[in-house]
Chains A and B, each alone.
Chain A
Amino acid sequence: MSVLTKSDAPPTSRTRSALNYLAGQLRQIGLFIALIVIVAFFQIAEVLTGLGGITLRPINVSNLIVQNSYILILAIGMVMVIIAGHIDLSVGSVVAFVGAVAGVMITQWHVPWWAAIILCLVLGALVGMWQGFWIAYFKIPAFIVTLAGMLTFRGLTQITLQNEQISPFPTEFRALGSGFLPSLGFIGGQFETLTITIGVVATLLLVVQGIRQRAARRKYNVEDEPFPWFLAKLVFTAALILFVSFLLASYNGTPIVLIVLGVLVVVYSAVMARSVFGRHIYAIGGNLNAAALSGVKTQRVTFLLFVNMGVIAALAGLVFTAQLNLANPKAGDGFELDAIAAVFIGGAAVTGGIGTVTGAIIGGLIIGILNNGMSILGVGTEYQSLIKGLVLLAAVAFDVYNKRRSGGR
């Protein structure tokens, strides 16, 4: 019997309730702290080994964002699939397939780059419909359907490309992967104006939204977040955004793909937290039977979920192809595993029902920074793989331990 059944229990002291609150948020805090610790570790290690602090140099931060963008995009779709209790092993092959089709369309059929992008997103939707049909309506486990998809779309990629690479792509198309927003001049001759503006506006929006949300929650008397913690979180996030935008402003400005990623994060966070569709996804993952008996159209939701994943995988494929300026039969190999690892490091439950878009993004960033930092330090790929494996295991073990300690959710 939990203590919660006593609603009239005397209010605990302020510090204790704050501590309880923080204990409840342990996973979220832990993830942030892990990210900071890893960044700090590499920065210091680089200084100590005489390389200088490379990790936080503007050019490296810019590259980090650009080079991990497609994994982060995939992680957004993947976390939704995993929350619903499924998995998608095919996204790496879909990335390659879409890249191949884009290559053929643009370089051989001379389709305008913008039309090719739209057609490729439609192709992603078709791929998702194909897999979603078998999973949702034919009731084949997603593991099997997407394993088959991994093979078939890899095969289709090779057929499309006739086992050859396609290159180069037009500049407009390449901008999607490696372009920057145009410069509007420099503040103090050093910081690019548009990037700083975007950073400041984003920070302001964040602060306003945070305050509004807290006010609404207070009005409805559901606020349990202690004020110091709310303030600390807000200041920290604002500082982080401003810091990154200053770093980017002192290099090439804002990568276009960062804008794409930012829009996706905002939109999908809202979808998962506030839309009927998102709530049905959590309901299905939390208890499929209960969801069905509550009138959730479980098959339709599952189908749409995979259509969505297909579109996101197509977008990741376009970004990746644009970035490499190359459509390659071997592209995207293992991307699905990176995306899945990001989702689980980000706190999603293997059994479904739990997870967040921001968690998956932070999970993806942790993997990205580990890759980047270890490469700078000259750690061999064999050790990189070893360390990433242990980090994934540790993150999930931490979750399982936490759950058991709190008496299971």
Chain B
Amino acid sequence: MTNNILEMRNITKTFPGVKALQDVSIEVQRGHIHAICGENGAGKSTLMKVLSGVYPHGTYDGDIVFENETVAFRNINDSEAAGVVIIHQELALSPYLSIAENIFLGNEQQKGGWIDWNQTNLEAGKLLARVGLKDNPITKIMDIGVGKQQLVEIAKALSKEVKLLILDEPTAALNDEDSAHLLDLMKHLKGQGITSIIISHKLNEIKAIADEVTIIRDGKMIETLDLDAGAVSEERIIKGMVGRDLESRFPDHTPHIGEELLRIENWTVHHPLDHERVVVDHANLSVRAGEIVGIAGLMGAGRTELAMSVFGRSYGHNISGKVFKRGVEIDTRTVSAAIEHGIAYATEDRKRYGLNLIDDIRRNISAAALDSLAKAGWVDANQEVVVAEKYRKSMNIKAPNVEVLTGKLSGGNQQKVVLSKWMYSNPDVLILDEPTRGIDVGAKYEIYGIINRLAEEGKGVIVISSELPELLGICDRIYTLSEGRITADVPRSEATAERVMQFMTQEREKDHV
């Protein structure tokens, strides 16, 4: 008999058109801290959702053996009853309720249908002591910091008599002090016999606390490395995370790079709600005519926040720094000012921020430059059709005419509408945030072709992407972003997956002390 608390055997999970997990097996030893590593979209979170019953038994193939019994969780209640508790990246606490109320939410301390408040607060106090939190249990969640909220989540898990605790990126939103406290707590819980699975991008943290690390890449289990045995370097883990074949999935592109178009200096952005938190930290970057520049960074590194704060201050609080266009400082405080200065930003979430899904292709394409179709406030609808038709043909938008609602198009065609909209605004610099997210391979190739064409027309293109191979395949230069700071500016000739990933995971200096 092994000492495994959990074995997941040959897990395969398919979504329409995508194999998210393919034959993944993983063994977790009792009383250990087991780390799971992988790029964005590798399938880590999917695997944990399979384990915790978010994707119920029957929607995936393979077996889950927990405490030597094959289990079939139908929902999260089943898995929690068995002692598997998952704490998600976005905390699931109710801000207006007290700590104690949150801990016992759905599991109220009751007598015959009436809540026993004394019992609730007493038990909550005991649980808080176990996670090293001294706050009064009747404090409201909104009045404590995000670090403490994370601890409340763990206390809540303890109240459910957790045997296997899963933490999804627990330190992503925490400052250094809170992170250190959390990691200490995990070691402490290990001492009490609680097994943990931690998903993290922060390799130094993993090395500090985990006993084993399993690497997942493209929905497949690559390897499990034993960290206790020592001699596993961060480079070794990175190699496992990125080591995939770079097929020729990218159209050829010969850069003709000209003058500098846009330069951003000392750009600092604070979180819109948590005003203390620095999301982008003194970033400097530039793009030249005909150049495709990538921004690489892991989830939460501040990529989108950087782009949106530049584009009309659409994100953030207390923004400082300067933006230069062809060497002249410009004002980009509103979206319309940014557009007038020739900046375009195509959002990462086309459905929520990019398109009016209940309106047609024609009116979506003209949305950012309606004034150029209008005389004295009246839109020339016929000219608008001509413009939209031009883009429908040149961008190969697959729709019978431009009166089709964008909500009925496929992801790739929606993205082409978004790109058309911004091309029609006639920008000098286009910032494309995840331009190929959620679209199929064929359409991706077309999008890369469009990006190349834009560069050949002498525009500067900034591409933000979670897919490292994509950036390596199309960019002339890649900035790496980690925790809001630009950690490197890597030219194409030096850009390898390992090197870029190393800069993407580079922590602040003091973390290494």
- Chain A residues proximal to chain B, CB less than 8 Å: 1-2, 4-7, 9, 216-217, 219-222, 224, 270, 273-277, 279-280, 282-283, 286-287, 289-297, 349, 353-354, 407-409
Contact = CB atoms under 8 A, between A and B. Distances in A.
A277 B377 contact: yes
Contact of B356 (A2, A286, A349, A408): A286
Q: A220, A287, A294: which has the most chain B beta carbons within 10 Å?
A: A294
15 contacts: A222-B385, A224-B401, A273-B381, A274-B378, A274-B379, A283-B359, A283-B367, A287-B352, A287-B355, A294-B367, A295-B312, A296-B367, A349-B358, A353-B359, A354-B358
A289 B377 contact: no
A125 B12 CA distance: 63
Nearest to B421: A294
Nearest to A407: B408
A5 B414 CA distance: 11
Nearest to B381: A274
A217 B389 CA distance: 13
Contacts of B391: none
Interface string B90-127: 00000000000000000000000000000000000000
B354 interface: yes
B356 A276 contact: no
A292 B334 CA distance: 9
Contact of B357 (A222, A275, A286, A291): A286
B336 interface: yes
B409 A5 contact: yes
Contacts of B398: 4-7
A290 B353 contact: yes
Given A220-B385, A276-B374, A292 B335 contact: yes
A216 B382 contact: yes
B230 interface: no
B185 to A, nearest CB: 38
Interface string B390-428: 000000001111111101111001000000010001000
Interface in B337-375: 338-339, 345, 347, 352-359, 363, 367-368, 370-371, 374
Given A4-B399, A220-B382, A222-B401, A295 B368 contact: yes
Given A274-B378, A295-B335, A295-B339, 8 more contacts: A2-B409, A4-B398, A5-B398, A7-B398, A290-B353, A290-B356, A294-B421, A353-B358
* Most chain A CB neighbours (cut-off 10 Å) among B338, B355, B356, B377: B356
Nearest to A406: B408
A224 B399 CA distance: 14
A221 B401 CA distance: 9
B386 interface: yes
Nearest to A287: B356
Contacts of A224: 401, 403
B400 A4 contact: yes
B314 interface: yes
A277 B410 CA distance: 30
Interface residues of B, number: 47
B311 interface: yes
Q: Which of A292, A293, A349 has the most CB of B within 10 A?
A: A293
A9 B399 CA distance: 10
Contacts of A349: 358
Contacts of B359: 282-283, 286, 353
Contacts of A291: 356, 367
Nearest to B371: A276
A266 to B, nearest CB: 14
A297 B354 contact: no
Interface string B431-456: 00000000000000000000000000
Interface of B: 311-312, 314, 334-336, 338-339, 345, 347, 352-359, 363, 367-368, 370-371, 374, 377-379, 381-382, 385-386, 389, 398-405, 407-410, 413, 421, 425
Q: Which 9 A-B pairs have the closest CB atoms?
A: A286-B356, A295-B336, A294-B368, A294-B367, A5-B398, A295-B339, A287-B356, A295-B335, A289-B353
A276 B370 contact: yes
Contacts of B363: 279, 282-283
A353 B356 contact: yes
A292 B381 contact: no
A293 B314 contact: yes
B396 to A, nearest CB: 9
A276 B367 CA distance: 10
B336 A293 contact: no
B408 A276 contact: no
Contact of B377 (A4, A276, A297): A276
Nearest to B379: A274
B378 A275 contact: yes
Contacts of B385: 220, 222
A1 B439 CA distance: 13
Nearest to B339: A295
The CB with the most chain A CB atoms within 10 A, among B314, B367, B370, B403, is that of: B367
A289 B352 contact: yes
A277 B409 CA distance: 27
A216 B380 CA distance: 12
B356 A7 contact: no
A9 B378 CA distance: 36
B471 to A, nearest CB: 23
A222 B386 CA distance: 10
A337 to B, nearest CB: 26
A293 B345 contact: yes
A297 B371 CA distance: 13
A276 B401 contact: no
B400 A7 contact: yes
B399 A7 contact: yes
A293 B335 contact: yes
B460 to A, nearest CB: 19
A170 B363 CA distance: 49
A276 B379 contact: yes
B437 to A, nearest CB: 16
Contacts of B374: 275-276
B345 A5 contact: no
Contacts of A6: 398
B335 A294 contact: yes
B410 A1 contact: yes
A293 to B, nearest CB: 6
Nearest to B340: A295
B348 to A, nearest CB: 11
Contacts of A289: 352-353
A2 B377 contact: no
